[in-house]
């Protein structure tokens, strides 16, 4: 056999990320996560999950949850992820997530979970429903990641603590049973512009805050225009990037820059001496120009349920195959009886 034939195609590093099909995706999710996902597809083997099992840790309306799963699949694809290159699938369609999660539960300490700030926040927010799933949420997330021997996990700061825990669990397991899991690293995108709330620009833009604080990915142009028009700025009237002292103005500049309108410096020079009205109009134009094609593609896809279902089914088959490879190894290591 010639040497060329002998060579296996080089394995690409694996990227895993998940988005919950709950609430509305915002411009912040798009700039901070989604739009980077599609750029990673050629260099990495990417797995993008619709984490519906995480979503039910807070009460969901079943019909709405089902609808949002399909919508998220359409959004993933509309944002440029090619389901022939990357995996887009529903977490609940791959039982390995739940199975590995159980095993990892037995390698996670109560104290570790009690320290998780997201758990503390959510428990305070949903005091009438502090369920065990909310508590072990980070273990399911660890299972998501470890099931696919993931190398890199694109995460925002709010999920860093969960990723650290995932690494700790994996190292603990490997310490007992040998190298079973790849230890994942966080992947911080190079241009990681953080989008802030339009009303309280010192806080991150969040889908759990009131409507007028964020631009939703599927907001129509009039809504986008209105929300940005009402965005909080300041009273000194100068267009300058200075997040410390001018968080509102800086946020708009940084949104524009993230959407390709120029560097912060270029924008600052270009808009110097203009009023905030102009700044807001320009920001609005940038946002609409970005979201309009995405929304058009979304509308086309969401009307084609058969196509979306086909994508989810086919990708879940591949995900199951990959997940089971790790799961079988883990089950053997912990001593589960072998299957005939």
Which chain residues interact with ligand TRP by CB under 6 A? 16-18, 20, 51, 54, 141, 144-145, 153, 155, 159
Q: What is the smallest separation between the CB atom of 24 and ligand TRP, expressed in angstroms?
A: 14
**CA of residue 86 relative to chain centroid, distance:** 15
3-state secondary structure 150-201: CCEEECCHHHHHHHHHHHHHHHHHHHHHCCCCCCCEEECCCCCCCCECCCCC
Q: What is the smallest separation between the CB atom of 19 and ligand TRP, expressed in angstroms?
A: 6
Q: Which is nearer to ligand TRP, 44 or 276 (CB)?
A: 44
Q: Which is nearer to ligand TRP, 58 or 281 (CB)?
A: 58
Take residue 74 and report the two structure tokens written for it: 């359409």
Q: Which is nearer to ligand TRP, 152 or 258 (CB)?
A: 152
Q: Tell me the residue number closest to ligand TRP, measured at CB.
A: 18
Q: Which is nearer to ligand TRP, 16 or 37 (CB)?
A: 16
Active site residue ranges: 122, 204, 207
Q: What is the smallest separation between the CB atom of 258 and ligand TRP, expressed in angstroms?
A: 19
Q: What is the smallest separation between the CB atom of 159 and ligand TRP, expressed in angstroms?
A: 5
Q: Any residues with CB less than 8 A from the CB of 65 and at least 6 apart, and which?
A: 21, 22, 52, 55, 56
How far apart, in whole angstroms, are the C-alpha atoms of residue 210 and residue 175? 45
Dihedral (CA of 186, 157, 114, 92) sign: negative
End-to-end CA distance of the chain: 36
Query: Cα–Cα distances in Å, from 262 out to 38, 238, 274, 276?
Result: 21, 19, 17, 18
Residue 292 is given by DSSP the state H
Q: Which is nearer to ligand TRP, 71 or 282 (CB)?
A: 71
Query: Cα–Cα distances in Å, from 155 out to 19, 25, 340?
Result: 10, 15, 40
Query: Cα–Cα distances in Å, from 46 out to 40, 43, 62?
Result: 7, 9, 28
Residue 16 in 3-state DSSP? strand
Q: Which is nearer to ligand TRP, 17 or 254 (CB)?
A: 17
Take residue 47 and report the two structure tokens written for it: 């797995």
Q: What is the smallest separation between the CB atom of 112 and ligand TRP, expressed in angstroms?
A: 16
């Amino acid at each position: 056999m010639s040497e060329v034939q002998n060579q296996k195609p080089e394995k690409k590093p694996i990227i895993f990320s998940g988005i919950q099909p709950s609430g509305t995706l915002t411009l912040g999710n798009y700039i901070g996560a989604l739009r980077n996902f599609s750029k990673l597809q050629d260099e990495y083997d990417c797995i993008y999950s619709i984490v519906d099992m995480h979503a039910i840790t807070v009460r969901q309306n079943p019909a709405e949850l089902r609808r949002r799963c399909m919508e998220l699949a359409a959004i993933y694809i509309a944002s440029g992820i090619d389901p022939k290159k990357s995996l887009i699938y529903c977490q609940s369609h791959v039982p390995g997530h739940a199975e590995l999660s159980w095993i990892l539960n037995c390698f996670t300490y109560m104290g570790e979970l009690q320290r998780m700030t997201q758990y503390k926040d959510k428990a305070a927010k949903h005091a009438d429903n502090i369920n065990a799933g909310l508590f072990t949420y980070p273990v399911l997330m660890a299972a998501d990641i470890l099931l696919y021997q993931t190398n890199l996990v694109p995460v925002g700061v709010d999920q860093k603590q969960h990723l650290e825990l995932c690494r700790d669990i994996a190292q603990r397991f490997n310490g007992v049973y040998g190298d079973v899991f790849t230890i994942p690293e966080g992947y911080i995108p190079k241009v990681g512009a953080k989008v802030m709330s339009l009303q309280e620009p010192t806080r991150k833009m969040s889908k759990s805050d009131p409507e007028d604080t964020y631009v939703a990915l599927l907001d129509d142009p009039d809504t986008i225009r209105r929300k940005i028009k009402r965005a909080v700025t300041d009273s000194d009237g100068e267009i300058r990037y200075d997040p410390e002292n001018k968080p509102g103005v800086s946020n708009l500049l940084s949104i524009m820059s993230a959407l390709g309108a120029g560097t912060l410096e270029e924008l600052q020079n270009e808009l110097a001496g203009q009023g905030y009205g102009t700044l807001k109009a320009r920001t609005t134009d940038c946002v609409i120009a970005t979201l309009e094609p995405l929304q058009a593609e979304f509308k086309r896809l969401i009307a084609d349920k058969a196509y979306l279902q086909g994508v989810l089914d086919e990708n879940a088959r591949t995900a199951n195959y990959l997940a089971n490879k790790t799961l079988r190894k883990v089950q053997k290591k912990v001593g589960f009886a072998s299957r005939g």
